[in-house]
Amino acid sequence: MSRHIKNIYREGELDKKSTVAKNATVQTEGKRRVEREVEFYNLDLILSVGYRVNSKQGTQFRQWATQQLKAYLVQGYAINEQRLKQKQQEVQTLKDGIRILSRVIEQKAEDQNSDWLHHFASGLELLDDYDHENLDKKGLTKTRAKFPNLDDYKKVIFAMKSDFESGVFGKEKDGSFESAISQISKGFDNEDFYPSLEEKAATLLYLIVKNHGFVDGNKRIAAACFLLFLQVNGLLYNDEKNSIISNDALASLTLFIASSKPDEMDTVKKLVISVLNRNRKIESKL
């Protein structure tokens, strides 16, 4: 065994520093207890030795390792293929829906009986902008932001606990939640990184969802903190005391963020900003 290990290191197949660790253990020799240094090898070295040993045990090991590798490859391929098909189906469904709704938008001016569409005009235009990659980059409200402090957010989380049967709801894993709520207030040389209230709100929702700072409840907590920020800054309700974002819209945006990939961050944030912008525009027209 030791000969094979020496050959593996000598031939440069593996690096000794990264594959072996030395730990002190206490052994009994007769009546004496002796402390000795024992080497522990990682999986890479074990596999390398297993494929070098020319014995019955070595053959059995290789058969087992090959069987396990084949199983992982087959299972991994099947899982990835299933996920890919599901993703492709979701994308195609979204594209079909956008194409149909976009056609409705183009035709509504010609349809004398399309008055009902005016009620949904904002949502249809948003889908059209999404399809043509023309979502809003910036928010409309440039007033100075009011930032709830950490205790304010934690009070909201505590108030939610009784609504969910989970002993770990709202239990923090690390400091990423505090990092998310502090990030939206940052800037450089008197310039905010996120100039508008809508951009700050969208960033807050995105970061809390994607940072996974809680053992359970990340999406629900993110949505609640998003609403708190809007409320404190006077954006949550219009003049008629109606919320500018519906429960369904909030759930959809939160799930959209949760399902997004890191390189899609700008797109999903633009979608949130666009929703808030359009609802603020509607309010200003009333």
Which one of 134, 160, 183 terminates a domain?
A: 134
Name the residue among 204, 157, 198 with its Cα closest to residue 180: 204
Question: What pLDDT sits at residue 198?
Answer: 94
**Residue 52, CA distances (Å) to 59, 105, 280 in order:** 10, 68, 70
State the total domains in the chain.
3
Question: What pLDDT sits at residue 242?
Answer: 78
Instruction: Note whether 119 and 195 are same-domain residues.
Output: no
- pLDDT tens per residue across span 52-69: 777 777 777 777 777 777
Name the residue among 232, 81, 251, 226 with its Cα closest to residue 147: 232
Instruction: Note whether 123 and 222 are same-domain residues.
Output: no
Instruction: Note whether 214 and 245 are same-domain residues.
Output: yes
> What are the structure tokens assigned to 23, written together?
């730990």
- pLDDT tens per residue across span 141-172: 889 999 999 999 999 999 988 887 778 899 99
What is the residue range of 37's domain?
Answer: 2-53
Distance in angstroms (rounded) separating the CA atoms of residues 87 and 235: 34
Instruction: Note whether 118 and 232 are same-domain residues.
Output: no
**Partners of residue 34 on adjacent β-strands:** 27
Instruction: Note whether 81 and 186 are same-domain residues.
Output: no
Instruction: Note whether 163 and 198 are same-domain residues.
Output: yes
Instruction: Note whether 193 and 221 are same-domain residues.
Output: yes
Instruction: Note whether 47 and 66 are same-domain residues.
Output: no
Instruction: Note whether 178 and 273 are same-domain residues.
Output: yes
Instruction: Note whether 172 and 213 are same-domain residues.
Output: yes
At residue 41, what are phi and psi to the nearest 5 degrees?
A: -105, 145
What are the pLDDT tens digits along the chain (286 aa)?
Answer: 577 777 777 878 778 887 777 776 666 666 677 677 777 777 777 777 777 777 777 777 777 777 777 777 667 666 666 666 776 766 666 666 556 555 555 555 455 455 544 545 555 566 666 666 778 888 888 899 999 999 999 999 999 888 877 788 999 999 899 999 999 999 887 788 999 999 999 999 999 999 999 999 999 999 999 999 999 999 988 777 878 888 888 888 898 899 888 888 998 898 899 888 887 654 444 3
Which one of 119, 134, 149 terminates a domain?
A: 134
Which one of 116, 134, 152 terminates a domain?
A: 134
CATH number at residue 164: 1.20.120.1870
Instruction: Note whether 188 and 73 are same-domain residues.
Output: no
Measured from the Cβ of residue 253, the count of other Cβ atoms closer than 10 Å reads 23
Instruction: Note whether 100 and 172 are same-domain residues.
Output: no
Q: Is the dihedral of CA 251, 253, 254, 259 positive or negative?
A: positive
